[in-house]
Amino acid sequence: MPVEAELTATVRDPEQVRARLADRAAVERSTYADTYYDWPDHSLDAAGFELRARTITTDEDARVVLTYKQPPVDADSRSKPEHETEVADATVLHEVFTGLGLAELISFKKYCENYRFSEQGRDLLATVVEIPELDGQVFIELETMAEPDDVADALGVVRAVLDGLGVTDQDAVTESYTDMVAAHRSDADRPGSST
């Protein structure tokens, strides 16, 4: 059962991080349109599961990826067993999921810059993320795939690479993007909000 060993952090100096990543790999820019599904009582989310349809658009093409994540195996990093496959049409997934009684939990866009490289024998994906709704904040996700008994070692490599990029443990983000976007929307809907 593959586990996505991943850490997410706030980026204080985006240009420095981008420059250091560019020394390792060419950038691949894309837009992710993410839609998360759950039962109406939000029991999947509450238990740590994720069911996501993602449309990835680049200058060349667009593709749809269906992802199912199980609850975290590492509470500090939220590293989760992940199952993923490409599908032909996100609208068909929407019809199937809602027809089975699932509801759309949340949808939002992310602007992503992906860098793929290897470190200590591991294939890594670093993604610099901007979510338009989150007021100019910049994040980095750094991940590698691992077996369940190898997650701690994999996260050690991820932490070392982040340190080399100038991203520290104090920059770590433990809240999910879905929660951050939902909180932002809730704040914007409050009477008297200026956003």
Phi, psi for 35 (deg, rounded to 5): -130, 125
Does residue 194 register a pLDDT over 60?
no
Average pLDDT over residues 178-185: 93
| Cα–Cα distance for residue pair 29/189, rounded to 1 Å | 32
Cβ-Cβ contacts under 8 Å for 192 (sequence gap 6 or more): none
Contact in structure between 115 and 24 (CB atoms under 8 Å): yes
First and final CA of the chain: distance in angstroms? 43
Angstrom distance (rounded) from CA 57 to CA 61:
6
Structure tokens at 185: 């929307």
Q: Does position 195 have pLDDT exceeding 70, yes or no?
A: no
Taking residues 71-85, what's their average pLDDT? 87
Task: Answer whether 81's CB lies under 8 Å from 70's CB.
Answer: yes
Percentage of the chain with pLDDT > 90?
86
pLDDT for residue 42: 95
Note the pLDDT tens digit of each residue in 16-61: 999 999 999 999 999 999 999 999 999 999 999 999 999 999 999 9
3-class SS letters over the chain: CCEEEEEEEECCCHHHHHHHHHCCCCCEEEEEEEEEEECCCCHHHHCCCEEEEEEEECCCCEEEEEEEECCCCECCCCEEEEEEEEECCHHHHHHHHHHCCCEEEEEEEEEEEEEEEEECCEEEEEEEEECHHHCCCEEEEEEEEECHHHHHHHHHHHHHHHHHCCCCHHHECCCCHHHHHHHHHHHHHCCCCCC
Cα separation, 178 vs 190, whole angstroms: 19
Integer Cα distance of 35 and 106 in angstroms: 6
- Listed by start position, the domains of the chain span 3-189
How much is the pLDDT for 192? 61
pLDDT at position 171 is 95
Averaged pLDDT score across all residues of the chain: 94
pLDDT of residue 173: 94
Give 187's pLDDT tier (boundaries 50, 70, 90): confident
Which pLDDT score, from 0 to 100, does residue 189 have? 72
Q: What is the pLDDT of residue 77?
A: 79
Comparing 26 with 78, the larger pLDDT belongs to 26
Please tell me the predicted confidence (pLDDT) of residue 1. Answer: 76
Q: Which CATH class is domain 3-189?
A: mainly beta
Q: Is 87 a residue whose pLDDT tops 60?
A: yes
